[in-house]
Structure 1
Amino acid sequence: MSRDRAVRTILPTLAFVVALFLWEAIVRINDIPPVILPAPSLIAKTLVKDWGTLFRSLEVTLSITFEALIAATVGGALLALLFAQWRPLEYTFFPFTVILQVTPVVAIAPLLLVYLSPGTAVLVVAFLVAFFPILANTSLGLSSVDHNLLDLFQMYRASSWRQLLWLRIPAALPYFLGGLRIGGGLALIGAIVAEIAAGSAGQGAGLAFRIVESGYRLNIPRMFAALVLISITGVAIFLLTTSLSYFMLRRWHDSARSRDL
């Protein structure tokens, strides 16, 4: 078991190192100028040199992402609970959430900038793209209850709130955590897209704004350095939400227990 875990860790790391080595070799052998494709070593140097500027931008992006994710998590979970308890409410408002989800966020962001301040608009866009997966997954989990258990609760005349607390919520937890993993990545994507839209209007100071600014100045190494920080942030969010899911489900749900095998 431990050997299998080691293999699953070593192989991706080895592949990543080999890819970086090949990238570095191709740039050096072909003498590709940094304005076309910077080498990984130059990107690392730029990351260190411009760390003060990039770190401040990273703080802005992280703040927006996590504020949007927290709001989407609370709002999506609470609305899903209301939908589960009162079906007419779901029939009435769920189509509106679908419309918001299928509308391209690139089209929404400039419109929101007309009505809201740039900071608020970026937060709203990140919230909207993270909200639907959490709402949809949690609603699916609340309705995906074992009918035999539901019949047992009804046989003992358990109230709807007791059914919700002791049966539906535990059944929905894996679905909710799955939606949270999706929503975490989408919150970052929404923040980046909205930051680019705000940056084009001369507003914003997040990592996406630094990418646009670097492109205008042909500072391609800094652009890649900002992209590296965005990628690291996305991976960190995924690992955080995956770890949360594992620790909450490992003692009883097969999706988490299978990882220990």
Structure 2
Amino acid sequence: MTTLEVRPVALDPEEARRVRQQRLEKIGGWVLPLAIMVVSVWLWDRLCVWNDIPKYILPRPGVVLQTLQDDAPLLFSSLWVTLKITFLSLALAIVGGVGLAVLFAQSKWVEMSFFPFAVILQVTPIVAIFPLINIYVDNQTAKLLLCAWIVAFFPILSNTTLGLNSVDRNLRDLFRLNGASRWQELWHLRLPAAMPYFLGGLKIAGGLSLIGAVVAEFVAGTSGQASGLASRIIEAGYRLNAPRLFAALILISVTGIVIFLVLSLLSHLVLRRWHESALKQEA
């Protein structure tokens, strides 16, 4: 009895070149940004040294990191305040945006009646709306939450509405031929089809909710121990405390990156087994 010898199939030159290119792109997607970041920080440090720039104008990176460590209790407590506003506004934007998009999908008359008001709310700068909010809302947290919600609400509403209205007409006709009710069509066809659009809007709204929370704190002028990172930035600017200002900015930037990465991971996990965009990423 003889055993068959299995020989590996050699790739043709074009396929081998494509595989090498994909491998290099995956490595470069991480290495190049990190390398540029390291070089940028080094140039920042050298610029401060070569030009003898005082730290109240442009602090060196090491001074900023030391300030971030020394002021960690104050900065991270303020970050927690900002994060609460961010995530609460995002949750409200999800509930309101998806709920209103479902109503729009069920009735064209409702969509035509109310969608223009959502557009007006989106295109009007929040700093112009805040004086009215300041008049009608007494609670400071509610003011900040409402401002951040206005910024984060529209991407979820518009993307989810687009997804619900982009269902294949042939599939809709098939559901109706089989006697499906309007809510069965919504639950089993329209909502799954709208999921990629909703997740795309969610990634946008996640960053906008953080921006809205910070901008709301700026225009509201909050202060005290229970204030957010925007107040720390304003306070540091008044005191010419540039190291703390840079430390607060770094915290905001890192928080925004983490929010985007988490929502991108969530989108990938939800879509990876069935949607073309996620399948292409895994190919």
Q: Shift of the alpha carbon at 1:3?
A: 4.9
Aligned equivalent of 2:142: 120
Which consecutive unaligned segments of at least 5 residues does structure 1 have? none
Aligned ranges 1:153-172 → 2 under 5 Å: 153-172=175-194
Give the Cα separation in 2 of the matches to 1:44 and 1:17: 15
Aligned equivalent of 2:46: 25
Aligned equivalent of 2:62: 41
Single out whichever of 120-129 and 2-11 deviates more from structure 2.
2-11
Residue type matched to 1:148 in 2? N
**What is the aligned length?**
261
Return the TM-score normalized by structure 1: 0.96
Q: Alpha-carbon deviations, 1:95-133, whole Å to 9, x = none?
A: 111111011011122331222222111100000110011
Aligned ranges 1:26-105 → 2 under 5 Å: 26-105=47-126
Q: Shift of the alpha carbon at 1:201?
A: 7.9
1:212 maps to which of 226, 234, 249: 234
Which consecutive unaligned segments of at least 5 residues does structure 2 have? 1-21
Give the Cα separation in 2 of the matches to 1:169 and 1:252: 14
Q: Shift of the alpha carbon at 1:43?
A: 0.7
Residue type matched to 1:24 in 2? D
Give the root-mean-square deviation of aligned CA atoms: 1.5
Q: Shift of the alpha carbon at 1:2?
A: 5.2
Residue type matched to 1:55 in 2? F
Contact 2:223-2:231 within 8 A present in 1 as well: no
Give the Cα separation in 1 of the matches to 2:226 and 2:233: 12
Tell me whether 1:136 sits opposite 2:158 in the alignment: yes
Runs of 4 or more, structure 1, over 4 Å off, are: 200-204
Q: Shift of the alpha carbon at 1:138?
A: 0.1
Give the Cα separation in 2 of the matches to 1:172 and 1:138: 6
Q: Shift of the alpha carbon at 1:4?
A: 3.4
1:182 maps to which of 195, 201, 204: 204
Residue type matched to 2:41 in 1? L
Contact 2:85-2:144 within 8 A present in 1 as well: yes
Q: Alpha-carbon deviations, 1:188-211, whole Å to 9, x = none?
A: 111111101122688961000100
Q: Shift of the alpha carbon at 1:6?
A: 2.4
Give the Cα separation in 1 of the matches to 2:215 and 2:242: 19
Query: Quick check: which has more Rg, 1 or 2?
Result: 2
Q: Shift of the alpha carbon at 1:83?
A: 1.1
